[in-house]
Homo-oligomer: A and B are copies of this chain.
């Protein structure tokens, strides 16, 4: 597994190689970005965002681009993350979906039977505003732009439950009780994720992340049988583009050996695992991203620093490492803390990693 640099010199000048090279040892600085770095924690976001649905906001390219840029300016992170939502491609195929403020996605008529599948018309994907946002950003950014999509399972869970879920009862009922319909739905959503990601990369996204946020609700045997192959197909379809790919899930500790086979370059981790154990379990085949508990960022900076240091130490055996939280920035986070955290990781990250590597070599003698 290697990361590929941008293809032309012009691109290379415009894009900081930090994030894109994170899989190589000896990156001069540990790259850092935050999931949900654009959003409610930022006063400048609240100032321009308005009160409408995010699905409407992403349809205004100038607004979406500005929101995408805000955290890059404020925090000095090494990647911009397209302001978007995993529900966007569903809206892009005309599937009736809403996002309710403070509640999440809402599907008035959930997918429950084979017949419901006719309502998902992949061929009609049309998201010109997303592509326009990317084009605007490419003209302004000096760091790589990350595109993303929801993984087939996570998107399926919203479509079947009709919204966020605690137990995923309807999702599992369909998966275990009507596998034929399940597999057809998953194939449709795989095609949708692929089409959405390809469009982003072709418009200029430099790397992509696949969010399988709720895969952690599954037994490993069910993930393997009903989910893994579809996420694999997504990464396979993106391989020709040679952009770095990141595979992320929450509460997926026991799925890691399976997720490591999905074909992604980087495994995004929540905070419930230790990076060194993940590196061991995956044979050091994948670069690692993430792992700082987002709640740690609610503490005074001295505590944040100590927690970040523990993450960096644990990352010392990873073949490549991108600093990030284990899930999205919590809305109550003080932006000043994140800014100082970026500075800390940039200044001390590689030093902590190398001194821990030496310590370990010393203790092995």
Residue ranges of A at the interface with B (Cβ–Cβ < 8 Å): 167-169, 172-173, 176-177, 216-222, 251, 253-254, 271-274, 277, 293-296, 298-300, 303, 307, 310, 314, 330, 332
A71 to B156: give the CA distance in the assembly, Å: 35
Q: Is the interface of A mostly helix, strand, loop or mixed?
A: helix
A-B contact pairs, 9 of them (CB 8 A): A167-B294, A167-B330, A169-B298, A173-B299, A176-B296, A220-B272, A221-B314, A251-B251, A254-B274
- List of B residues within 8 angstroms of A221 by Cβ: 274, 310, 314
Known: A251-B272, A253-B254, A274-B254. A172 touches B219 (CB 8 A): no
Which residues on the B side are within 8 Å of A295 (C-beta)?
A: 167-169, 172-173
Residues of B near A274 (CB, < 8 A) are: 219-221, 254
User: Are B332 and A177 in contact (CB-based, < 8 A)?
Assistant: no
State in angstroms the CA–CA spacing of A271 and B294 once bound together.
Answer: 25
A293 to B219, CA, bound (A): 8
Q: Give chain B nearest CB distance to A222 CB in angstroms.
A: 8
The answer to whether B254 and A176 touch across the interface, beta carbons within 8 angstroms, is no
On chain B, the residues within 8 Å of A173 by CB distance are 295, 298-299
Cβ-neighbour of A177 out of B216, B272, B300, B314 (below 8 A):
B300
Across the interface, name the chain B residue whose C-beta is closest to A292. Answer: B219
Kindly list the 9 A-B residue pairs having the minimum CB-CB distance in the complex, ordered from nearest: A253-B253, A253-B254, A172-B295, A219-B271, A254-B273, A177-B299, A169-B295, A220-B274, A254-B272
- Contact between A176 and B219, CB atoms less than 8 A apart: no
Besides the contacts A217-B272, A220-B272, what 7 more A-B pairs have beta carbons closer than 8 Å?
A167-B330, A169-B330, A173-B298, A177-B300, A221-B314, A222-B293, A254-B273
**A75: shortest Cβ distance to chain B, in Å?**
21
- On chain B, the residues within 8 Å of A303 by CB distance are 176-177
Which residues of chain B are near A310, meaning CB under 8 Å? 221
